[in-house]
Amino acid sequence: MGFLSVIKGGLTKTRNALLSELKGIVGAGKITDEMLENLEEHLIKADVGVEAAFLLTDALRENALGKSLSTEEVLGIMRTEAERLLSDPPPFELKGKPHVILVIGVNGAGKTTTIGKLASRFISEGKKVLIAAGDTFRAAAIEQLEAWAERSQADFVKHQEGSDPAAVAYDACEAAKARGCDVVLIDTAGRLHNKDHLMEELRKVVRVIKKHDPSYPHDLWLVIDGNTGQNTINQTKVFHQSFPLTGLVITKLDGTAKGGSVLSISSALQIPIRWIGMGEQIHQLVPFNKQEYVEGLFENALSNEDAN
């Protein structure tokens, strides 16, 4: 399955929510301020995400006010705005052998699942991958990651439940060097940005793996649940102040009308969006690509609505 079809499938609800709300402002003569306010309110109620709703209706306020426009023209304005707000990440490159990636984020954001999907992707590209069970908080977390390691055929390093995540990460890097791995993916326990001892635990992981090589970790990715609102942006800013994030992964954009959250995250933060999660299955993680995302959000909206 191509990336675009995964994206389009995931964004169906968002696309349909956008489109059904547009009916209030097309075909009813000139677009007025009141119509745009209504649209804004409806988009918010349709759960498109408050920030995304503001951004898109602001664009219409600037470009569509006082005009009679077709659905395609209105979608075109929104599309242009979306393209303006988004940017493509720099190409992903392996910067070491192994290239070490530390994956962090709040509880339940999708870190472990994302690591499993990434391992599978990298392995399908011919890379040798090792994943490290740096979430030692619960035995179930280690088992969950182990299952992903088996599914994706990645090497796996774990310690016992309750052991020091920094020691797991250190050993994983050691093993990866010895085995000639190309990529190390280190899972971590979910944590809130305002829990000092947990942030300190993460700092220790970073400090300890730097003993192998000061360039470790080459990447530090924050996983964000795409269904969460403004709060996420503030949380991400705090994480970014503590750790220089090199990329974001936005998960759970499927099955929700909040697929527009990518717009608000991208416009509020200067951190590249690397990957988007479009489902629970192993292939449902796609590299973020501005054009594909925008196409998934706006294109074929009419025919898709018919199909649903």
Ligand X SMILES: Nc1nc2c(ncn2[C@@H]2O[C@H](COP(=O)(O)OP(=O)(O)OP(=O)(O)O)[C@@H](O)[C@H]2O)c(=O)[nH]1
Cis bond before residue 98 (omega within 30° of 0): yes
Stretch that binds ligand X, among 85-93, 168-176, 246-254, 291-299 (CB under 6 A): 246-254
Residue 27 or 108: the one with the smaller Cβ distance to ligand X is 108
What are the counts of helices (DSSP H) followed by strands (DSSP E) for the chain?
13, 8
User: What is the footprint of ligand X within residues 129-158 (CB under 6 A)?
Assistant: 135, 141
- CB distance 237 to 231 below 8 Å: no
- 254 contributes a contact to ligand X by CB under 6 A: yes
Q: Could you tell me which residues come within 8 angstroms of residue 163 by beta carbon, excluding any fewer than 6 positions away?
A: 136
Q: Which is nearer to ligand X, 49 or 105 (CB)?
A: 105
What's the min distance (Å) between Cβ of 103 and ligand X? 9
Dig out the tokens for 255 from the structure.
Answer: 């099955």
Residue among 14, 112, 246, 267 that touches Mg ion (CB under 5 A): 112
CA-nearest of 207, 204, 262, 252 to 106 is 252
Tallying the residues shown for the chain, one arrives at: 308
**Cβ–Cβ < 8 Å for 206, 239:** no
We find the least distance from the C-beta atom of residue 7 to ligand X, in angstroms, to be: 12
Determine if 8 is a binding residue for ligand X (CB under 6 A): no
Our CB check for Mg ion shows the closer of 12 and 112 to be 112
Site string for Mg ion, 54-93 (x = CB under 5 A): ----------------------------------------
Residue (73 or 200) nearer to ligand X, CB:
200
Q: Is residue 251 near ligand X by the rule CB under 6 A?
A: yes
Round to whole Å and give the CA distance between 273 and 289.
Answer: 9
Shortest CB 141 distance to ligand X, Å: 5
Q: Could you tell me the end-to-end alpha-carbon distance of the chain, in angstroms, rounded to an integer?
A: 20
Smallest gap from residue 277 Cβ to ligand X (A): 3
14 lies in the site for ligand X, by CB under 6 A? no
CB of 252 to ligand X, least distance (A): 4
Residues 6+ apart with CB under 8 A from 231: none
Q: How far is CA 135 from CA 171, 183, 250, in A?
A: 14, 18, 20
Report if residue 120 touches ligand X, rule: CB under 6 A: no
Nearer Cβ to ligand X (154/223): 223
By CB under 6 A, residue 27 contacts ligand X: no
Residue 251 in the binding site for Mg ion (CB under 5 A): no
With beta carbons less than 8 A apart as the criterion, state whether 67 and 249 touch.
Answer: no
Do residues 253 and 229 make contact, with C-beta atoms less than 8 angstroms apart? no
Q: Which of residues 96-115 bind ligand X (CB under 6 A)?
A: 105, 107-113
Query: Which residues, 6 or more positions from 123, have their beta carbon under 8 angstroms from its beta carbon?
Result: 129, 152, 153, 154
- Binding residues for ligand X, rule: CB under 6 A, are 105, 107-113, 135, 141, 190, 223, 251-252, 254-255, 277-280
- Binding residues for Mg ion, rule: CB under 5 A, are 111-112
